[in-house]
Structure formats: structure tokens, C-alpha cells
Amino acid sequence: MDTILVVNAGSSSVKFQIFAIGEADGPQRLIKGQMDGIGARPRLRAEANDGSSVIDKAFGANEIADVPAAMTAVADWLRETQHFALVAVGHRVVHGGPIFEKPVIVDHDIVERLQGYVSLAPLHQPNNLAPIRLLLARRPELPQVACFDTAFHRGHSAVADHFALPEHFYAEGVRRYGFHGLSYEYVARRLREIAPEAATGRVIIAHLGSGASMCALSNGRSVESTMGFTALDGLPMGTRPGQIDPGVLLYLIMQRGMDPAAVQDLLYRESGLKGLSGLSNDMRDLESSAEPSAALAVEYFVYRIGLYAGMLTAALGGLDALVFTAGIGENSATIRARVVEKLGWLGARLDPSANAASKLLISQAGSTIRIYVVRTDEELAIARHTVSLLSDRVKSVSRAAR
């Protein structure tokens, strides 16, 4: 059975999935797993498509000290126990910069180009590239496909893409990219299946998780996003602040004497829900806490979502549907209810029982905006792109041979 491996590598975890390919209805998930707690309490867990566990193993911190070590352990386990015929690997890569507007088959030159965007995504890009480099060294014959979170937004208008800076900065790549594109791509496709009329209209997707953003779609295409040049902008996140006056950063550097590395650490690791609450970057902890600072962090999160929903509605010229997705969006009925309450001025009305049950459609019959909860699946989106590029490669070789 031919299979592909999909890898989504973060700073302290490596998520992976195995898909069977060759089926008429697309890639079929066989195994889903992750190695988390890297460098602290590493643990490898995986389950089959029916939900049964296939491994749950703890490691010593020194055994799995970094992402390459985690990837090696995952690869060794798959090779020794699963015996799949692996034909390609698909990777999530957060930043594609101004060059990469669609998935590509990776080589050493492309990896070096992507390395140039590390400063634009320091939490993600180095870890996205680590398993690619490892496999290029150990399995150079194995095709690898990089799928970019920025690619889905590359059709934005020049007005939406620009900052109000001299044009040469835009030419150098200083522009608004947008992120979470693989999630938005999957949800937009899923919406066409479950609600085709809504999908062709004016839609806001709220990807609410530890990383959070919102995207405005017209007829399934991204026209505006809350994130920009980096994954710092827009909504407050687990440890990132979201929108912030650039003057604050100048103040921190010029008046407080903070160096760029310290400012970067503050913005990526110590701000957002964690910074506001002083307690946690996890929404579940904040919702269950009685501390006033936790309540402030939650209210700030909801408030900013409401503000950006208004901005994105203006970009669309109206709103037909709102979709919640990702960890918080899919699982917190309370956050969904509070957000929809903020959008009452648009005619949004929630069905409390449907919301409590996290049903697909959670709006009332009389709501002027249809409200959905759609579980995202970035890995499946990556698998589809990987299969498509492999097919294109085979066709190119076949044409060249004729």
C-alpha cells in the first residue's frame, strides 16, 4: 500500500499522520499521532483511524532533546512497526514569503530560501524546516512537499497587501501575507460540501486556537486577514499580543533599553493571554479561573474578535456566514456564545442548545447570519497537495519520455 507521511512540526511537538493514497476519493487517513513534550517529558502517541491506540510511549528528556530527535524516533517507529510503502512526505511550512505562492517539491536550494524567512516566523519556521533537512540528508530520494500557510492569501488585492510604507519595501517582501492558510483552505472546501450557498457568499472564518486569526472570504477566496507580515498581528493569542502600536516597540527599545532579541521573546512567548492574565496561555485554564486577570484576558480576546469581525465585514461589504474552527473555536461553547453576542448588531442569533452540543449549524432559524462550527484538518489539506504534486510530477516524467 502506497502511503504519504504528513508532518506538522512545532517548537515542542511533532504531529504526524499517515495517509493511504491511490483511492478515488482522495487520501485516506491510517494513523494519527504526535511526539510532544520535546526536551522535557517526551511522549509518543498514535492511534489508528478507528481511534484505537497503536503506541503510547514515554522517553527521557535527553533521548528526545529537539525536533530532529523527535522526527528520528517517529521515523524509526514507523519503519520498524508499520511497514508502509512511503512514497512522499508533506510538510506544513508557516512562511512562504513573496516567492512561494503554492506548494512545492523541496530541494536544498528551496530550504535555504525558506531559511531566509525564519526571522518572520521564529516560533515556527525553524521547526518546520528541521524535519525537511533531516529527511533530505537521510532519504534524499524521497519526495518532500512544502505547503505554506501564507499561500491561501496570495490572491489579495494590492490595497489589502500593502503597508503605508515606501514602495521599495513592498518590492523587498514587506507586505501583509496572512497565515493559517491551510486551515482556511480546508474549511472553505468543507463549507462547499456542507453549505454550498453560504460558501459562495461572504464568509468570515475564525481560526481560534493558541494561534488565532480571522479570514474574510468571498466565494471561497481570501480577500482579507487579521494577520500580516508575521504571525504576530491581529487577534491576541496564547502568548502573542496581536495588534499593537509600533510605537510601543520603539519605546521598549529606545526608552527601556530592550534589545531586539528580548523584544522578540516578549512578543512571541510572554504576551497575549499569558501576559494579560499572568496565569496561563490556555483558554481552558482561564475560563475555569476565578482570578480577575483571567476574566480580563478572556474578555479582551472576545472583544478583539468582535472588532475584527466588524473590519472583515466591511471588507466584504456584508456578511452571510461565520465559521468557528481550531481548538478554542471548535471546543469552547462559551467563547462562541460571547463572540456571537458581540455580533448581535449584524443580526447574528445563536441557538444555545446547538451551540452547547457543538453542532455543525449553531445559529437560530431567524439569524441573518448562518453560524457554523467546522473542525479543521490541516494535515488532510497537506496530504491532498502532496498527492497532487506527485501526480503532476509523474505526468511530467511521462510526457518527457514520449
Q: How far is Cα 243 from Cα 235, in angstroms, rounded to an integer?
A: 7
144 phi and psi angles, rounded to 5 deg: -125, 135
Determine whether 149 is an active site residue.
yes
Cell 448562518: give the residue.
370
| Nearest alpha carbon to residue 92 among 389, 393, 387, 383 | 383
Helix ranges (H only) for 255-348 are 260-269, 272-277, 283-288, 292-316, 326-331, 333-342
In the set 149, 233, 320, 351, the catalytic residue is: 149
**DSSP 8-state class, residue 366:** T
CA 243 remoteness from chain centre? 18
The SS3 of residue 67 is helix
CA 34 remoteness from chain centre? 16
Are 4 and 29 contacting, i.e. CB atoms less than 8 angstroms apart? no
Q: How far is Cα 31 from Cα 54, in angstroms, rounded to an integer?
A: 9
Q: Residues 189-224, buried b or exposed e (16+ Cβ, 10 A)?
A: ebbeeebeebbebbbbbbbbbbbbbbbbbbeeebbb
Q: How far is Cα 203 from Cα 320, in angstroms, rounded to an integer?
A: 6
Residues acting as catalytic residues:
149
